[in-house]
Structure 1
Amino acid sequence: MIFKVKMKNNKIQTVTRLVSVQSLYQMDMAGTDIDVIIKDHKNRIIFDNKDDILINDLNTDMYKKILYGVFENQISIDNKIKEFLDEKWSYSRIDITLRAILRAAVYELLFTPDVPFKVVINEYINIAQSFYSEKEPEFLNAILDKVAKSKLTMTSDG
């Protein structure tokens, strides 16, 4: 698969997040086993506007953490996404690619306290903009903002 993504300063983290989204998509769409996906992730090349970015640029530990984290916490992640959907939206209506982006981002927001919310949200919005026009990244931003605020509220209350 070839995707264009807006690369910022932290290319390795951006590439890792993009490949994580691709892998989550593959798991959801084709039902591919997580261990097979992790084993085969090096067969991909990503292109941006300037450079070919090889999968060797991937942070393998971060990649595995996101994939296994989403896999192990998928029910709570999906429930959190559903919690903030507008009444007009059902979870099943969300496009598979957007769902993969949401799952990875919500996983990071809920389970990786060492990464600032703003960084996570900006990275995944940039990834969403690689796949979609204005509407979907705005939808993603709204959901992620609500998840981050709820996490802050839970942290300050508890």
Structure 2
Amino acid sequence: MTDAPAAPGARPPRQSRTGLTSTGTRKASAKSARTRAREFALQALYQHLVGGNEAGAIDSFTRDLSGFHKADSVHYDALLHGCIKEAAELDALIVPLLDRKLQEISPVEHAVMWIGVYEFLHCPDVPWRVVLNECIELAKEFGGTDGHKYVNAVLNGLAPKLRPLEVEADRAAGKAR
């Protein structure tokens, strides 16, 4: 038995893009535990930046959110408590690369940059390009329209300073500019 010919002008069936929805965003099931940890940390850091909430209260609230059990809670803890504890140091690294005052940066992009800088400094097991990509995706998903471009520029500017050997090795191998 042969297949019937397609109707004139009919489109071929859409190819499945594993891990992506029809709009191109990642499916929830395709997210790693670390990606989820970053998402929950971002939400928690946002609460800290906007509301001035204390880390312990934010932590308790966030752990009760739907889906938290799928996140890497150790990584989440490191990001939330580490970023808040080292906020001044993280900001000191970020500010020289800004084209405006830190107070004018969206709290979402600010929190994403904290996550990126913190991971550059304290998570050597996560390649710098993964940190950069994850932060760009966070900014796309939660931030303003072009916030991801700003996050990309700042973190890409810090990567050679904070991960010089890794960045240089990638550049030499043609994996980074």
Q: Same fold (TM over 0.5)?
A: yes
Which of 66, 71, 93 lines up with 2:84 in the alignment?
A: 71
Which of 93, 96, 121 lines up with 1:83 in the alignment?
A: 96
Q: Which amino acid aligns with 2:50?
A: M
Name the structure 1 match of 2:127: 116
Which of 93, 112, 115 lines up with 1:101 in the alignment?
A: 112
Q: Which amino acid aligns with 2:33?
A: I
Moved over 6 A (4+): none
CA RMSD between the two structures = 2.1
TM-score relative to the length of structure 2: 0.73
Per-residue deviation, 1:155: 8.7
CA contact (8 A) 1:17 1:63 kept: yes
User: Which structure 1 residue ranges, 5 or more long, are not aligned?
Assistant: 46-53
User: Which structure 2 residue ranges, 5 or more long, are not aligned?
Assistant: 1-24, 168-177
Q: Which amino acid aligns with 1:123?
A: E
TM-score relative to the length of structure 1: 0.81
State the structure with bigger RCO (CA 8 A, min sep 6), 1 or 2.
Answer: 1
Which of 69, 73, 80 lines up with 1:56 in the alignment?
A: 69
Structure with max Cα Rg: 2
Percent of residue pairs identical: 25
Which of 31, 35, 52 lines up with 2:56 in the alignment?
A: 35
Q: Write out per-residue CA displacement over residues 12-64 of structure 1, whole angstroms, 9 at most, x where no aligned residue.
A: 1111000000000001111211011112222223xxxxxxxx11101111111
SS at match of 2:86: helix
